[in-house]
Structure 1
Amino acid sequence: MGYPFRMTAIPDFLRIDPETRRVSLDGRNPAFYSDPNRVYGLLHQHCPTFFWEEQRQWFFTGYDRVNFLLRDRRFGRQILHVASREELGLPEPEAHLANFDLAERHSLLEIEPPEHTRLRTLVNRAFVSRHIEKLRPEITELAERLIDAFDGQGRVELLSAFADIIPVTMIARMIGIPDEMGPQLLKWSHAYVGMYMFKRSREDEHAADRAAEEFAAYVKTLIAERRREPREDLLTHMIHTEHKGQYLTDDELVSTTIVLLNAGHEATVHQIGNSVRVILESGLSPAELFRDEAATERTVEETLRLCAPVHIFQRWALEDAEIDGVSLKRGDKVSLILAAANLDPKKFSDPLVFKPDRQEGQNLSFGAGIHFCIGAPLARLELNTVLPILFRRLPGLKLAGMPTVKDVYHFHGLERLDLTWG
């Protein structure tokens, strides 16, 4: 993670033609997804806006460009609200993905105003920082209890014993789902987000559709329960709160609950592992990195900048546009590489180096604009709470071997993280 930025040698698995701005790269090559930052550095050096041949799409990596496009209302997360499939030449929905498509139809991540405004307004209040901060004691208690279970052993696989459990438990409790459902929620979520990965196969699609069907059926049973017996939880709030005289439909409630559960833990699980790895590989003193609240916040933001858990956010061109000399037509899809924007040398000095004291601007790991991650305050609170506890409770923490990165690009997380201490 701390190698120098100025590189000239382009590895065999990457082909860059700066003249035509065309790039050839296999997203499933372990040499790439194990260390995507190296490739992002080369793209900034040679071709920050490029056409990825294998993905058949234009990609943007420059910080200012990505930040602008995330907020540019000429681009959106959906297109069918302004044009038909026939107009755009898009294929009809695939029958084997009917359950997945239904669950996504009203997803906060996938819709545009005014529907997005209505749904987000109903949910947003639960995720503002002043409400989220009240969860700190609960997160602390959970982290301490999990560490109690393994601190005497001298070694642990951190993801399964710690990182997997905290985010899913907290978001489930907020929504009103019992703790014991955690393992099943993880299974559904892992299958569901398989739809967004470069390695996606027909088998992955069937698994995602099954997960969507089962996930939705479970959420509908919860909705029925909360209608009969309201509680002090987010699901009850979403069911019984109106916006301009309108309530959420059952389909909207299902989509919103699924996206909150998935987004509320999937990325944070990856980020806990990524952050621990970066800190340990940096050689810097954890006691110094977490010496107080301000230092902790800077450390967490720097790990988010250097090893973001979600790398790509896609947008549809809602009208013809020209961006960085690229002519885009209405209906074209473009991709913004958030993780690469965080490494732009025009924005960050020595961008591939872990420098927790840097103060050069906000990372884009949670996006920007109207689709800025609604769960960002919760994710930040979890990271700022559990990382200091982990390093305080396990002095002398170190890696027990080289961590393996998951083949889940465009997410970025570890297969497992084996640690020792003492």
Structure 2
Amino acid sequence: MKTLSQSPHAPDFIQNPYAVYDEARARGPVLFWEDYSMPAAFDSATVTALLRDRRLGREHPDPGPRPAHLQTWTRLHDNSMLELEPPRHTRLRGQVLRAFTSRRIANLGPDIDEITAELLGDLPASGAFDLIPQFCTQLPVRIIARLLGVPEDRAPDLLRWSTTMVAMYMAGATRATEDAAEEAAREFVDYLDGYIDQRRSRPGDDLISQLIAAEAQGDSLNTDELVSTCVLLLNAGHEATVHTLGNAVKCLLENDTDPLALAAHNIAATVEEVLRYDPPLHIFTRYAYEDIDLGEATLKKGEEIALVLGAAGRDPEVHVAPDLFNPQRPGRPHAAFGGGLHFCVGAPLARLELQKALPALFARLPDLALAETPRYADSYHFHKLERLMVTP
């Protein structure tokens, strides 16, 4: 298998991974990424096929002993439907989908409008400010809290716990990263244990209450599964949308995008183009449950492979002029939300938030401009901005 040597912490790569993806794809479709010690797929056809291939999965085939200093984090990880395969994944996902209905998502539309208007009204009237903490971060976390029924005044805690825990998935996690993630996991679990107990005796019209009551074939979620599912929904339910909002505003401003791209009849296509062009998550890994022929190489049973979602969206075999941001691009599939059994359950909510927040932002601030060149954070495989300094 051909190899790729590319540090995910290299400054040039952080700011523009797509140039490396192009070179890798031309040599691929699958290379052994030395810095990750695993094969990686960079073309759309391979990424899409392996996302759907049931011979691979998220659940580790031989996890071995777990670190003693990560007991709580590991318990959450092991009970998360993101890390499971059928039949357990089927049961958990089915119960989440029964609570995460299209009607429930659609009913959040007025909430998104309300919170967006409030946040926009609080933005400075003059001078440069960072849009990430003042807008991009606040909207998704408040919406997901409202959806689950968690008090919105706990949003700062939710953000702190989530940011600390997901750092475990970034390249080069250290012992300090692990210790911080374990502490955050304990605090998160302690909070949710108490809150879920409240909801068991006093259910409300929220997703947590529905998950508590949900039953599939007479089998409901156990406490560990319920807590892990809530953590997953709270973390994943805002993390990607925060990054996508920031990336989208950067993209729209840098490309002098026609305001018509934000019109009601165009905004859905514009959001899909943002997700293709500069997605928030660049890698999704899977394990092989049997030997798999990848053409020039074989993925051995038990090996892990990185599916580079960010590279798939820039594949010239699928997208004409892929490095051009084009909101009028004819609809083509992208992999920003993954695929197969693990396709993101929150995709409809993320799309709705983006489709409402972006037009509202530019309608309120039609002269919005970049105050400095945006820079991406050293957070791979998340692709997010360090800050987004703008002027109104």
Residue in 2 that maps onto 1:23: 4
Q: How far apart, in 1, do the equivalents of 2:320 and 2:29 lie?
A: 17
Residue 93 of structure 2 is matched in structure 1 by: 120
Partner of 1:35: 16
Q: Answer whether contact 2:30 2:294 (CA < 8 A) is retained.
A: no
Are residue 64 (structure 1) and residue 64 (structure 2) matched?
no
Counterpart code for 1:72: D
Q: Deviations for 1:224-267, whole angstroms, at most 9, x for unmatched residues?
A: 10111111111111111211011111000010000000000011
- Structure-1 separation of matches of 2:276 and 2:284: 16
- The aligned counterpart of 2:144 is 171
Shift of 1:197: 0.2
Amino acid at match of 2:261: L
How do 1:249-398 and structure 2 match up within 5 A?
A: 249-285=222-258, 287-291=259-263, 293-398=264-369
Match of 1:96 in 2: 69
Shift of 1:154: 4.6
Contact 2:277 2:313 in 1 (8 A): yes
Superposed displacement of residue 113, structure 1? 0.8
Structure 1 range deviating more: 45-54 or 197-206: 45-54
Please report how far the alpha carbon of residue 360 of structure 1 lies from its aligned counterpart in structure 2 after TM superposition: 4.5
Q: Is the 8 A contact 2:132 2:387 kept in 1?
A: yes
TM-score of the pair, normalised by structure 1:
0.91
- Counterpart Cα distance in 2 of 1:30 and 1:161: 26
The residue identity in structure 2 corresponding to 1:39 is V
- Farther-moved stretch of structure 1 (198-207 vs 260-269): 198-207
Measured in 2, the distance between the counterparts of 1:254 and 1:67 equals 31
* Match in the other structure for 2:57: 76
SS of equivalent residue, structure 2 residue 5: strand
- Secondary structure, in 3 states, of the residue corresponding to 1:419? strand
Deviation at 1:359, TM superposition (A): 1.2
Identity %: 43
* 1:44 counterpart (25, 28, 40): 25
- 5+ residue gaps in structure 2? none
CA distance, structure 2, for counterparts of residue 318 and residue 46 of structure 1 = 26
After the TM superposition, which residues 123-142 of structure 1 pair with which residues of structure 2 at under 5 Å, given as runs?
A: 123-142=96-115
Aligned equivalents of 2:227 and 2:5: distance in 1? 39
Aligned-partner Cα distance in 1 for 2:175–2:120: 39
Contiguous gaps of at least 5 residues in structure 1 = 1-19
> What is the CA RMSD across the aligned residues, in angstroms?
1.3
For the residue of structure 2 that corresponds to 1:93, the secondary structure is coil
Letter in 1 for 2:106: E
Task: Return the letter of the residue paired with 1:197.
Answer: M
Deviation at 1:168, TM superposition (A): 0.6
Normalising by structure 2, we get a TM-score of 0.97
Asked whether the equivalents of residues 99 and 211 of structure 2 are also in contact (C-alpha less than 8 Å), the reply is no
How far residue 403 of structure 1 moved from its aligned partner, in angstroms, is 1.1
The 8 Å contact of residues 50 and 59 in structure 1, kept in 2 or not, is answered as yes
